[in-house]
Amino acid sequence: MQLGYRLAATLLAISCFPLSAVGETLNKIEITATNNYQSVIVEQPEELKTTDDNALTTYVFERARFQNNKDPQLFIDVMDWVASQWQHDGMNQPPAGTSSLDILKKVHDEGERYRCVEYGQVMADILSAMGHHTRQIGLQTSEVAYGGFGMGHVATEVWSNALGKWVFFDPQFSIYALHNGEYLNIHDIYQLKRQQQYDQIQFLVTEQFARLNQLDVEAIKSDYANFLSNYLGFHISSRHLYGERQRVFLMMEAKTPPLTFQGMGSEYPKLFTQNPDIAYPELNKTSIAMTALPNAQSDFQTLMEEHGIETNEQYLEHQWRFAAKGEISMQFYTAMDRFSHFQIRQNREEWVDIEGESFVWPLNKGENRFEVRSISETIVAGPITFVDIRYSL
């Protein structure tokens, strides 16, 4: 009878304690995958500016039907339209300060033709007015200093929020490049050539341009591949560095920096780099500062004393008492031009707009995914930043 009473009393006492008092387990919080890493982030507003050019977009949208398309297909359609507006004339340079709207009106009303530079300008200005970051790039041969005439070419790169990278377009020829289904920028193309995979690149000509110009598509692809291969010495872009606008020369095939262009001097200083991150800054990226919130039981020293923990083995045995709880505190940062707000998505559910710049993410047991992106005033969504966390034994 006494034994039965003692057993019942013991069981009753155990049932009155929380589970943690009789042997808790440690649930670990571990990141299994993420792209939330710092890089060369653009902070100068001059680098991020898009334009608000209603006159240009109104004029273009009256003549084109691509404004509802999505990145990156939108970029291809804009390039195709611009490339199809006039025939190339490498010697017809418009007066300084001529706007893209003026160029298009001259083309449509007077039959003017322009250079590769103007193709790039018009494409860039249309996309910029739609809230996308576009830049004209210079491409030069390794022998640009004293190699003679025709050592440079002008093309275009567009920042793709969907792909999280710069993508190459050549609106003079209405051509873009893919490798194994991936859109390429000029540095990608250079790297593939360096790896002896240049012949695996697909140079694609848009359909409307090919049809209007009655092109042999396969022939133009081959001709263009040979043409572009000559211009992978230098990649020239405009960057805001050291407090002012710089002409940045990314050295690719070239071994030494040139101080002249085809033997001629220039009023514009050149800033040389061998680091592609300088020439290819990430735009519109959302960065997350994050931490697991602490367990609220008690502070570290008190728990150590209460449970007589003196060795590492004892600490590991009691680690569940100290362990962070399953909540992640997040602070969001962005340098997006004309930023409006953040959107978040948990475990691949619907995107949700949030107010402010912080969020506490409650974890489910098992696998968890969190995604965040910046949204601009023009409703352009930036690249997705994601974190995968396992919360389990």
CATH topology of domain 18-39+285-392: Immunoglobulin-like (2.60.40)
- DSSP conformation class of 262: T
Task: Report which of 358, 392, 352 is spatially closest to residue 375, judged by C-alpha positions.
Answer: 352
What pTM does this model have?
Answer: 0.84
Distance CA 377, CA 83 (A): 29
Give the phi and the psi of residue 302 in degrees, each rounded to 5. Answer: -60, -45
In the chain, ranges of CATH 2.60.40.10 domains? 18-39+285-392
- DSSP conformation class of 216: -
Beta-carbon neighbour count of residue 55 at 10 Å?
A: 10
Domain 45-279 has CATH 3.10.620: yes
Token pair, residue 90, equals: 């490498």
The DSSP bridge partners found for residue 153 are 139
3-state per-residue secondary structure call for 131-195: CCCEEEEEEECCCCCCCCCCCEEEEEEEEECCCCEEEEEECCCCEEEEECCEECCHHHHHHHHHC
Dihedral, CA of residue 41, residue 43, residue 44 and residue 49, to nearest 10: 80
pLDDT, tens digit, 9 for 90 and up, residues 234-276: 999 988 888 888 899 999 999 999 988 898 998 889 999 999 9
Task: Report which of 140, 137, 188, 139 is spatially closest to residue 165, judged by C-alpha positions.
Answer: 188
Task: Report which of 102, 98, 59 is spatially closest to residue 81, judged by C-alpha positions.
Answer: 59
pLDDT, tens digit, 9 for 90 and up, residues 80-119: 999 999 999 988 999 999 999 999 999 999 999 999 889 9
pLDDT of residue 45: 63
Distance CA 144, CA 260 (A): 8
The answer to whether 307 and 69 have CB atoms below 8 angstroms apart is: no
In the chain, ranges of CATH 3.10.620 domains? 45-279
The answer to whether 8 and 93 have CB atoms below 8 angstroms apart is: no
Residue 1 has pLDDT above 70, yes or no: no
Distances, alpha carbon 137 to alpha carbons 45, 113, 166, 241, in Å: 20, 21, 11, 17
Phi/psi zone of residue 194: left (φ > 0), alpha (ψ -120 to 50 degrees), beta? alpha
Give percent of the chain with pLDDT exceeding 70. Answer: 93
- DSSP conformation class of 62: T
- DSSP conformation class of 94: P
Higher pLDDT, 306 or 92: 92
pLDDT, tens digit, 9 for 90 and up, residues 110-143: 999 999 889 999 999 999 999 999 998 999 999 9
Read off the amino acid at residue 229.
Answer: S
pLDDT of residue 17: 32
